[in-house]
Structures are given as structure tokens and as C-alpha cells.
Amino acid sequence: MSETRSDEELFEQADELIRQLELVSVTFDRAAGEIRNRSAPDIPSGQDVPTHVTLMLAHRFDEEGLTFKHDAKVAIGGSDEDADDAAAIVEASIVVQFRAESPLVPDHERALALGQTHSHRVMYPYLRELVQSMLARLGVSGATLGLFKAVG
């Protein structure tokens, strides 16, 4: 087992890894929306609607590069503490694929750091647009997912 690396060191190594990669595609593997309380998220424009975003991240090294799968659940309305009382739920699986010119040595800690930084930044605008368009198709107005806020 390798020695534990600091977060700062991992993110530096993730930056080094991203320089070896080229973004190939961003695709939706799955998308679904559900309205639980139709009137709750219909609010005047300009007011905040509470949202709770849960992301699960998986990655896979292959002969062509590195692929990330982001499973997202966005709970709109309800309380910040309890996503189960949400007025609407949007779920999606978004796949972000990077290609490498030469084979990569699998390093799962570094890949996780890369997924939490670069891959999240790549997929988030797609998730945000999906939430907006899914809610519009379901007849909900006024609720949007906020802009991405980088951590660190």
C-alpha cells in the first residue's frame, strides 16, 4: 500500500495528469425527473430555491485513457437538511471521457482528485442545463441549479 498523500499533493498530481489528457466526450447515460409537489418550486424569479446536490463519482482506466461517471441527484425545494422532502428530483448519470496519447499508469487516488476537480468542472454545466430543461419540461418555473463553486 502506498503512503498517504496530502490533498494538496494529490491535486497537484491531478493537474499533472490532466495535461496528459484530451477531453473526448460528455454524454448522458441516464436522466430522469420527478415532481413531488408541483406548487412548491414555482416561485417568482429572483428568489432562491433551496437545492441539494449529491454526486457519486466513479472512474475507469482503459487502453484509450480515463473515463469518469458522475451520478447526480438534485433535490429542489424542501429543507437543506432533508432532501427527502424535496418538491422535485432530477437524477442523471453523466459520463466524461478523456483520451491519453500514451498508456496511463492507473493511480486511483490521483484519478479521484482529477475527477473531483477537472471532471466535475467539465460535467457541471451539462448537469445544470439538464436540471433547467427537465424542470421546464415538467412544468416547473423559477427553480434553477446555481453556478459551480470550486472548492479549495
The answer to the question of residue 6 being in a domain is no
The answer to the question of residue 122 being in a domain is yes
> Which range of residues forms the domain containing residue 37?
24-138
> How sure is the predictor about 122, in pLDDT bands with cuts at 50, 70 and 90?
very high
Work out how many domains the chain is built from and give that number: 1
What are 72-97's pLDDT values in tens digits?
Answer: 998 887 665 556 778 889 999 999 99
Partnered with residue 74 across adjacent β-strands are 53, 90
Q: Where are the alpha helices (DSSP H) in the chain?
A: 7-18, 108-114, 120-137
CATH number at residue 66: 3.10.420.10
**CA angle, 16 then 22 then 24, to 5°:** 145
Q: What is the residue type of 55? A: L
Q: Is 149 exposed, middle or buried (0-12, 13-18, 19+ CB in 10 A)?
A: exposed
> How sure is the predictor about 2, in pLDDT bands with cuts at 50, 70 and 90?
very low
The answer to the question of residue 55 being in a domain is yes
Q: Give the CA-trace dihedral at 120, 64, 23, 149, to 10 degrees.
A: 10
The answer to the question of residue 10 being in a domain is no
Q: Quick check: 142 pLDDT over 80? A: no
Answer whether 0.85 is exceeded by the pTM: no
Mean pLDDT of the residues in the chain? 82
The answer to the question of residue 14 being in a domain is no
User: Percent helix, strand and coil across the chain, each rounded to 5?
Assistant: 30, 35, 35
* DSSP designation for 9: H
CA distance 76 to 132: 11
Mean pLDDT of 36-49: 62
pLDDT of 38 reads 67
The answer to the question of residue 38 being in a domain is yes
Q: Quick check: 70 pLDDT over 50? A: yes
